Amino acid sequence: DFMEQIEGLSTIEEQIKDILECEEVVIVSGDADLDDEAIYNIGHAAAKVLLRNISNNDIIALTGGSTVHRMIEAIPSSPIKAKNVYVVPARGSLGNNVSFQANTLVAMLAEKIHSNYTLLNIPDNLSQKSLESVREEPEIQETLNKLIKSNILIYGIGNANKMSERRNLGQDIVKHLSDHHATAEALGYYFNQQGEVIYASRSIGITMDQMTELKYPIAVAGGHSKSDAILSVKKLLSRGCVIMDEGAANGVIALS
Ligand code: G3H
């Protein structure tokens, strides 16, 4: 019954809090690997957490991904009370399908909550040299300065293999990832089980160091298949809020 289900979820929340050593955990019902509803539930929960935490002059940074996309879909189209809010992409494009790119999601969210936004319009696969010169562009600098000051970051956690496939990373990078036992992806960084960054996507945006200093990170991940990835990025999850479905949570519990 419904009350039992709620109680069950809060027991799992406490267990996950202990395992991941994080401040705030929200577990929603379902398993994204088995049913679409779980991702909708994560989206709704994340939307609630986000809307509850926005205040005047906040800068909200977003990554791409289908889970963050669901959160934005769950946000009602109506102006928020907070004034002078900015939405910015956490990283430049990482080769995702355009509908899941951070830039696209930033524009969607800003339109819904009637806030300001800036984009990181950087083509994929630029050489390191071109990337360095793009970084110096005043428009990009302005966005990067906003990003450094961001108060809230919403990001998805992915499976390293799935993400490298989705982003069509070259064969040499795929080999590097498998040689170094990549398990997780977040913010364009790939991690091994010990939480070490083993590959950083060539892009512009928030860095790992800046990420760990952010005021309020909100991580979203669904599906049993992501439990290994979630455990791998445990270090990132110590502050802010972690939102996952039962499938992912039960997997995390089983693995630890
Ligand atoms: O940036 C993408 C995330 O790491 C995971 O994406 O929410 O589509 O699984 P997803």
User: In this structure, what token pair is assigned to residue 99?
Assistant: 């509908």
Report the pLDDT value the prediction gives residue 5, as an integer from 0 to 100: 78
Report how far residue 222's alpha carbon sits from residue 158's, in angstroms, rounded to the nearest whole number.
9
Q: Which residues in 69-95 are b (16+ Cβ under 10 Å) and which e?
A: bbbbebbeeeebeeeebbbbbbbbbbb
Phi, psi of 87 (to 5 degrees): -115, 135
What does the DSSP 8-state code read for residue 91?
B
- The share of the chain scoring above pLDDT 90, in percent, equals 80
| Ligand 1 atom nearest to CA at 100 | 8
Average pLDDT, the chain: 93
**Span from the CA of 151 to the centroid of ligand 1 (angstroms):** 21
Q: Quick one: angle between helices 2-20 and 246-255, nearest 10?
A: 50
Strand pairing partners for 27? 244
Closest atom of ligand 1 to CA, residue 221: 7
Tell me the per-residue pLDDT of 20-79, one tens digit each, with 9 for 90 and over: 999 999 999 999 999 999 999 999 999 999 999 999 999 999 999 999 999 999 999 999
Residue range 164-219, pLDDT digits in tens: 888 888 899 999 999 999 999 999 999 999 999 999 988 899 988 888 888 899 99
